[in-house]
C-alpha cells in the first residue's frame, strides 16, 4: 500500500506550478480540457489544480468550468480504456510501473468482477488515480457503458463540488494550498490510501 503514491515531492510541485500557470493565460479553458483529458490516462496532476484558480478568476463561470473538467475527464477515460484494452503491454504497463499502481490495479481487477459500476463510481470520486481505473477497465474488458455512466456521475460530482466550494470561499483556498502545499500532499496521500482501503472493503 505504501507504493500507491510515491511521486517525489519536487516533481509534484513542478507539475503543480506548470499546471497552475495555465490559469493565467487566455488558453486556460483549453488547458483545463487537455489536462482533464490527459489525467484520465497518463498525466500526474489532477485537474482540480487548474479548476480551482480558474473558478477563483471567474466565479460567475464556475458551472461552465466544472462542466469542461467533467466532460474532458470522461472523454479521456475512453483513451485510458483503449490503452488497457489494446495497448496494455506497449503503453499501459509502463504507465502502471511509472506510478507504482500495481497494487491498485490488482484490487480493481478483483472488484470489477464483483461490482464494476460501483467500483468505477467509488474510485472516480476518490483521490485514487483515475488512470488506474480507466486502464484496468479496458484491460479486464468491463462494460464501456458502465465506465462512461459511472465516471460521468462520479467525476462530475467531484468537480462540481470543488467548483461550488471555490465559488463560495474563493481565494482563501488557493492561498491555503500555496502555503501548505507539502502538508496537503501528505494529506492527499492519506486520502489516497483511504480511497484504496474503501475499494478493498466494497462487497
Highest mean pLDDT among 82-96, 102-116, 188-202: 82-96
Does 199 score more than 70 pLDDT? no
| Phi, psi torsion values for 143, nearest 5 degrees | -60, 125
Q: How far apart are CA 83 and CA 86, in angstroms?
A: 6
Model confidence over 164-183: pLDDT tens digits? Answer: 888 887 766 666 665 654 55
| The predicted structure's pLDDT at residue 3 | 45
**86-100, 110-124, 165-179 — which is least confidently predicted?**
165-179
Does 95 score more than 60 pLDDT? yes
CB 138 within 8 A of CB 108: no
Model confidence over 28-45: pLDDT tens digits? Answer: 889 899 999 999 988 877
Q: How far apart are CA 30 and CA 12, in angstroms?
A: 22
Amino acid at each position: 500500500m505504501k507504493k500507491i503514491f510515491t511521486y517525489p515531492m519536487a516533481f509534484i510541485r513542478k507539475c503543480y506550478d506548470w499546471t497552475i500557470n495555465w490559469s493565467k493565460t487566455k488558453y486556460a479553458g483549453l488547458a483545463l480540457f487537455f489536462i482533464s483529458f490527459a489525467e484520465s490516462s497518463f498525466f500526474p496532476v489532477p485537474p482540480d489544480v487548474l479548476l480551482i484558480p480558474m473558478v477563483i478568476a471567474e466565479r460567475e463561470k464556475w458551472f461552465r468550468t466544472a462542466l469542461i473538467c467533467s466532460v474532458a475527464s470522461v472523454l479521456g477515460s475512453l483513451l485510458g480504456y483503449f490503452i488497457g484494452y489494446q495497448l496494455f503491454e506497449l503503453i499501459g504497463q509502463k504507465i502502471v510501473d511509472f506510478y507504482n499502481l500495481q497494487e491498485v490495479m490488482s484490487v480493481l481487477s478483483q472488484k470489477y468482477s464483483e461490482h464494476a459500476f460501483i467500483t468505477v463510481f467509488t474510485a472516480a470520486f476518490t483521490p485514487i488515480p483515475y488512470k488506474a481505473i480507466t486502464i484496468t477497465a479496458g484491460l479486464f474488458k468491463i462494460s464501456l457503458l458502465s465506465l462512461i455512466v459511472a465516471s460521468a456521475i462520479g467525476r462530475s460530482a467531484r468537480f462540481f463540488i470543488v467548483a461550488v466550494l471555490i465559488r463560495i470561499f474563493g481565494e482563501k483556498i488557493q492561498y491555503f494550498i500555496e502555503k501548505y502545499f507539502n502538508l496537503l500532499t501528505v494529506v492527499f496521500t492519506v486520502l489516497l490510501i483511504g480511497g484504496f482501503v474503501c475499494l478493498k472493503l466494497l462487497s
